[in-house]
Structure 1
Amino acid sequence: MKRSLSLLAVTLTALAAGGFWYVQSKLPQRQGEVTLANLQAPVSVRYDERGVPHIRARNETDLYRALGYVHAQDRLFQMEIMRRLARGELAEVLGPKLVPTDTLFRSLRIRDQAKLMVSRQDKQSPAWIALQAYLDGVNAWQASHPKPIEFDILGITPRPFTAEDTLSIAGYMAYSFAAAFRTEPVLTYIRDQLGPDYLKIFDLDWHPEGAVQAAPKLAAADWQSLNLLAQRSQQALFDAGIPQFEGSNAWAVAGSHTRSGMPLLAGDPHISFAVPAVWYEAELSAPGFNLYGYHQALNPFASLGHNREFGWSLTMFQNDDLDLIAEQVNPTQPNEVRINGQWQALTRSEEQIMVKGEHPVTLALRSSPHGPIVNDVLGKTASTTPIAMWWTFLESENPILDGFYEINRANTREKMRSAAAKIHAPGLNLVWANARGDIGWWAAARLPIRPEGVNPAFILDGSSAQADKLGFYPFSANPQQENPASGYIVSANAQPQSPTGMPIPGYYNPADRGQQLAHHLATDQTQWDIHNSQALQLGTTTGYGPRTLAPLLSVLREVAEGEQEKELVEQLAAWPGDYPLDSISATVFNQFLYELSRAALHDELGDLWFDTLISTRVIDAALPRLAADPDSPWWEHRGSNERGSRKDAVVQAWHNSLAHLRKTLGNDPASWQWGKAHTLTHGHPLGQQKPLDRLFNVGPFNAPGSHEVPNNFSAKIGPAPWPVTYGPSTRRLIDFADAGQSLSINPVGQSGVLFDTHYADQARDYMDGKYQRAQMGVIPAKSILHLTPEP
Structure 2
Amino acid sequence: MALIFRWLVRLAVLLIVLSVLSVTLIYWIASRSLPDYDDKVAVRGLSAEVEIVRDNANVPHIFGQSDADVFFGLGFAHAQDRMWQMINLRRTAQGRLSEVYGSATLNIDKLLRRFDIYTLSVQSVEALAPETRAALEAYSAGVNARLAQINTEALGRGAPEMLLFNAPMAPWRPADSVAIGKLMGLQLSGHLEAEVIRARSSLALPDADRLSDILPDAPGTGVAALPEYAALAPGTKRYSANLPLDPHPLSPFKHMAFAGASNAWAAAPSRSASGGTLLANDPHLGFTAPAIWYLARLELQSGGVIGGTIPGMPAVMTGRSAELGWGLTSAYVDDQDVYIEELNPENPQEYRTPTGFKQFRTRSSIITVKDADPVTLTLRWTDNGPLLPGSHYNLAAITPPGHVASVNWTVLSGRDTTLDAAMGVMEAKTVEQAIDAAQSYIAPAQNLTLVDRSKIAMKTIGAMPRRDANHQSQGRMPAPGWIGANRWQGMLPYTANPEFVAPAGGILGNTNNKTVDRPFPNHVSFVWGDTQRVQRWNRLMQTRQVHTRDSFIEAQLDTVSFTARSLLPLIGAELWFTGEAAADGTAQRQRQRALILLAAWSGEMNEHLPEPLIYMAWLRALQDRLIQDELGPLAAEFDHVEPLFIERVFRDVNGAAAWCDVLQSAQTESCPEMARLALDDALLWISETWGGELESLRWGDAHQATHDHQVLGDVPVLRYFMNIRQSTSGGDNTLLRGRTKGSDPDPFHNVHGAGYRGVYDFADPDSSVFVTSTGQSGHFLSRHYDDLAQLWRRGEYIPMSLDADLARAASVGITILTPEAP
Q: TM-score, normalised by structure 1?
A: 0.90
Superposition deviation, residue 376 in structure 1 = 5.5
Q: Indicate the residue corresponding to 2:709 in structure 1.
A: 684
Q: Indicate the residue corresponding to 2:180 in structure 1.
A: 169
Kindly report which structure 2 residues correspond to 1:450-469, keeping only aligned pairs within 5 A, or say none.
450-453=467-470, 454-469=473-488
The CA distance in 2 between the partners of 1:350 and 1:370, in whole Å, is 19
Q: Indicate the residue corresponding to 1:493 in structure 2.
A: 512
Kindly report which structure 2 residues correspond to 1:144-183, keeping only aligned pairs within 5 A, or say none.
144-145=149-150, 146=155, 147=157, 148-183=159-194
Q: 1:235 aligns with which of 247, 255, 264?
A: 247
Kindly report which structure 2 residues correspond to 1:362-511, keeping only aligned pairs within 5 A, or say none.
362-375=376-389, 384=401, 385-395=403-413, 397-435=415-453, 437-453=454-470, 454-497=473-516, 502-511=522-531
**2:221 equivalent to 1:203:** no
Superposition deviation, residue 669 in structure 1 = 0.6
- Letter aligned with residue 202 of structure 2: R
Superposition deviation, residue 299 in structure 1 = 0.3
CA gap of 1:638–1:57, structure 2 versus 1, over 3 A, is same
Q: 2:792 aligns with which of 752, 760, 766?
A: 766
Q: Indicate the residue corresponding to 2:331 in structure 1.
A: 317
Superposition deviation, residue 179 in structure 1 = 0.8
Q: Is the 8 A contact 2:266 2:507 kept in 1?
A: yes
**2:73 equivalent to 1:60:** no
CA gap of 1:374–1:595, structure 2 versus 1, over 3 A, is same
Q: Indicate the residue corresponding to 1:126 in structure 2.
A: 131
- Letter aligned with residue 416 of structure 2: N
- Letter aligned with residue 708 of structure 2: G
Name the stretch that deviates more: 453-462 or 408-417.
453-462
Q: Indicate the residue corresponding to 1:538 in structure 2.
A: 557
CA gap of 1:18–1:586, structure 2 versus 1, over 3 A, is closer
CA gap of 1:259–1:344, structure 2 versus 1, over 3 A, is same
Superposition deviation, residue 23 in structure 1 = 3.0
The CA distance in 1 between the partners of 2:669 and 2:12, in whole Å, is 77
CA gap of 1:543–1:88, structure 2 versus 1, over 3 A, is same
Q: 1:332 aligns with which of 330, 346, 355?
A: 346
CA gap of 1:530–1:110, structure 2 versus 1, over 3 A, is same
**2:722 equivalent to 1:697:** yes
Q: Indicate the residue corresponding to 2:303 in structure 1.
A: 289
Superposition deviation, residue 643 in structure 1 = 4.2
Kindly report which structure 2 residues correspond to 1:73-152, keeping only aligned pairs within 5 A, or say none.
73-122=80-129, 125-145=130-150, 146=155, 147=157, 148-152=159-163
Partner SS for 1:442: strand
Q: Is the 8 A contact 2:278 2:759 kept in 1?
A: yes
Q: Is the 8 A contact 2:328 2:448 kept in 1?
A: yes
Q: Is the 8 A contact 1:480 1:498 kept in 2?
A: no
Q: Is the 8 A contact 1:98 1:240 kept in 2?
A: no
CA gap of 1:679–1:504, structure 2 versus 1, over 3 A, is same
Q: Per-residue displacement from partner, 1:591-635 (whole Å, max 9, x unpaired)?
A: 11111111111222223x2222336xx945433323332732433
Q: Indicate the residue corresponding to 2:239 in structure 1.
A: none
Name the stretch that deviates more: 691-700 or 656-665.
691-700
Q: Indicate the residue corresponding to 1:211 in structure 2.
A: none
Q: Per-residue displacement from partner, 1:675-734 (whole Å, max 9, x unpaired)?
A: 122111211112333215534433321110001211001103356651111111111111
Q: 2:678 aligns with which of 653, 664, 686?
A: 653
Superposition deviation, residue 12 in structure 1 = 6.6
Q: 2:638 aligns with which of 579, 596, 613?
A: 613
Q: Is the 8 A contact 1:277 1:748 kept in 2?
A: yes
Superposition deviation, residue 500 in structure 1 = 9.2
The CA distance in 2 between the partners of 1:320 and 1:54, in whole Å, is 38
Partner SS for 1:259: coil
The CA distance in 2 between the partners of 1:626 and 1:669, in whole Å, is 28
Name the stretch that deviates more: 258-267 or 104-113.
104-113
Superposition deviation, residue 636 in structure 1 = 3.4
Q: Is the 8 A contact 1:100 1:377 kept in 2?
A: no
Q: Per-residue displacement from partner, 1:209-236 (whole Å, max 9, x unpaired)?
A: xxxxxxxxxxxxxxxxxx43xx33x636
Partner SS for 2:172: coil
Superposition deviation, residue 664 in structure 1 = 1.2
Q: Indicate the residue corresponding to 2:228 in structure 1.
A: none
Q: Indicate the residue corresponding to 1:304 in structure 2.
A: 318
Name the stretch that deviates more: 168-177 or 400-409.
168-177
Q: Is the 8 A contact 1:399 1:423 kept in 2?
A: yes
Q: Is the 8 A contact 1:665 1:671 kept in 2?
A: no
Q: Which runs of 5+ in 2 are unaligned?
A: 1-6, 219-241, 583-587
Name the stretch that deviates more: 384-393 or 190-199.
190-199
Q: Is the 8 A contact 1:107 1:377 kept in 2?
A: no
CA gap of 1:6–1:639, structure 2 versus 1, over 3 A, is closer
Q: Indicate the residue corresponding to 1:35 in structure 2.
A: 42
Partner SS for 1:745: strand
The CA distance in 2 between the partners of 1:116 and 1:97, in whole Å, is 30
**2:645 equivalent to 1:627:** no
- Letter aligned with residue 819 of structure 2: P
Q: Is the 8 A contact 1:488 1:521 kept in 2?
A: yes
Partner SS for 1:143: helix
The CA distance in 1 between the partners of 2:540 and 2:445, in whole Å, is 27
- Letter aligned with residue 133 of structure 2: W
**2:815 equivalent to 1:785:** yes
Partner SS for 2:514: coil
CA gap of 1:181–1:235, structure 2 versus 1, over 3 A, is farther
- Letter aligned with residue 786 of structure 1: I
CA gap of 1:88–1:621, structure 2 versus 1, over 3 A, is farther
The CA distance in 2 between the partners of 1:559 and 1:671, in whole Å, is 24
The CA distance in 2 between the partners of 1:554 and 1:577, in whole Å, is 16
Name the stretch that deviates more: 503-512 or 61-70.
503-512
CA gap of 1:112–1:684, structure 2 versus 1, over 3 A, is same
Q: Indicate the residue corresponding to 2:359 in structure 1.
A: 345
**2:78 equivalent to 1:71:** yes
Q: Indicate the residue corresponding to 1:219 in structure 2.
A: none
Q: Is the 8 A contact 2:467 2:487 kept in 1?
A: yes
- Letter aligned with residue 524 of structure 2: I
Partner SS for 2:338: strand
Q: Indicate the residue corresponding to 2:231 in structure 1.
A: none
Q: Indicate the residue corresponding to 1:215 in structure 2.
A: none
Percent identical residues = 27
Q: Indicate the residue corresponding to 1:214 in structure 2.
A: none
Q: Indicate the residue corresponding to 2:630 in structure 1.
A: 604
Partner SS for 1:592: helix
The CA distance in 2 between the partners of 1:590 and 1:754, in whole Å, is 34
The CA distance in 2 between the partners of 1:300 and 1:264, in whole Å, is 26
Paired residues in the alignment total: 760
Q: Is the 8 A contact 2:183 2:252 kept in 1?
A: no
